[in-house]
Amino acid sequence: MRVEDLDGPRIQSGASDAALDILQWLGLDWDQPVLIQSQNLSPYLEAIGRLAEAGLAYPCSLSRKDIAASAPQEGEHDTIFPETMRPPDAGEPRRFHWTEGTHWRLLVSSGTVPVSDQLQGDLSFEPSTECGDFVIWTVRNEPAYQLAVVVDDLRQNVTDVVRGDDLLPSAARQQLIYQLSGQDPPKWWHLPLVRGADGRRLAKRHGDTRISHYRESGVSPDRILGLLAKWSGLIEEPALLKPEDLLDKFDPKLLPMQDVTFSKEDEAWLMA
């Protein structure tokens, strides 16, 4: 179990404890002590230090606004950092040193990065044109998401990464860090998303769909797990299930390849 709490001001006080409590309420557990990223930055400092000394990372003081002004990117979700905006000494070996107002970027070479996903199949991405040199150390003097999760997956001996398919591009970027660090990536399992009736990703705009909300409303964990089992293709209709029941029924071949819609019928099942 890992608590990823390096997102600065966006982390709400008590959110980590609440999330761990909900998982235990659902019947999920973990074998090792919980790894809390913010409690020890030394593994990340070692990682970026090695990348910097190999000439694979460099400091940058340009903001998103600066980049967008120099290279307009209308309609793009990511702020692409083009090769033309690299400093002249990018690629030279250096010692990592953080200064206020500066972040560090990974030197991303041109070319495609193949990603073999256990569900989505073989895919190809081109980080150099999709995002360019992306940030791996932030202006808050903390590791960015892409670097932090690679470091943690390696030290926690993670063999399989299971997450939403909206993070597929991140797999390619993380594979670059694995490759540059001389390590093999884990197996990727990118699942379809849960969406509301309007087709948009399930979020606050669809009302309170947090598990804690249903818990407070008196819904049992067995009922929530039953709906998750239906969404995962393990059963045709939701039923009261315990975690051990899901282990017995689990088959990755049954996982859906299309996004799941949280329907009125699903809501009625939960609140029955």
264 plus 184 within the same structural domain: no
Confidence band of 9 (pLDDT split at 50, 70, 90): low
Predicted TM-score (pTM) of the model is 0.91
The tokens of 252 are what? 């990755």
207 plus 75 within the same structural domain: no
Three-state SS letters, 182-250: CCCCCEEEEECCEECCCCCECCHHHCCCCHHHHHHCCCCHHHHHHHHHHHCCCCCCCCCCCHHHHHHHC
Residue 117 lies in a domain: yes
Q: Which of 173, 191, 209 is the last residue of a domain?
A: 191
pLDDT higher than threshold 80 for residue 143? yes
168 plus 217 within the same structural domain: no
Name the burial class of residue 266, with classes exposed (0-12), middle (13-18) and buried (19+) by CB atoms within 10 angstroms of its CB: middle
pLDDT higher than threshold 90 for residue 249? no
Nearest alpha carbon to residue 89 among 110, 64, 59, 133 = 59
155 plus 54 within the same structural domain: yes
pLDDT higher than threshold 50 for residue 48? yes
**Mean pLDDT in residue range 154-176:** 96
Three-state SS at 258: coil
pLDDT higher than threshold 80 for residue 13? no
72 plus 202 within the same structural domain: no
Residue 165 lies in a domain: yes
| Structural domain for 106, as ranges | 37-191
Q: Which of 176, 191, 206 is the last residue of a domain?
A: 191
- Neighbouring CB atoms inside 10 A of 36's CB total 14
Residue 264 lies in a domain: yes
pLDDT higher than threshold 80 for residue 142? yes
Q: How many residues does the chain have?
A: 272
pLDDT higher than threshold 70 for residue 54? yes
Q: Are 233 and 256 in contact (CB under 8 A)?
A: yes
106 plus 177 within the same structural domain: yes
What CATH number has the domain bearing residue 232? Answer: 1.10.1160.10
Q: Are 169 and 108 in contact (CB under 8 A)?
A: no
pLDDT at 77: 55
pLDDT higher than threshold 50 for residue 75? no
pLDDT at 7: 74
Confidence band of 8 (pLDDT split at 50, 70, 90): low
149 plus 221 within the same structural domain: no
**Mean pLDDT in residue range 93-114:** 96
Per residue in 203-233, pLDDT tens?
Answer: 888 888 999 999 999 999 999 999 999 999 9
Number of independent structural domains in the chain? 2
Q: Are strands 187-191 and 160-164 parallel, antiparallel or unpaired?
A: parallel
262 plus 184 within the same structural domain: no
Q: Are 133 and 21 in contact (CB under 8 A)?
A: no
Residue 28 lies in a domain: no
Confidence band of 74 (pLDDT split at 50, 70, 90): very low
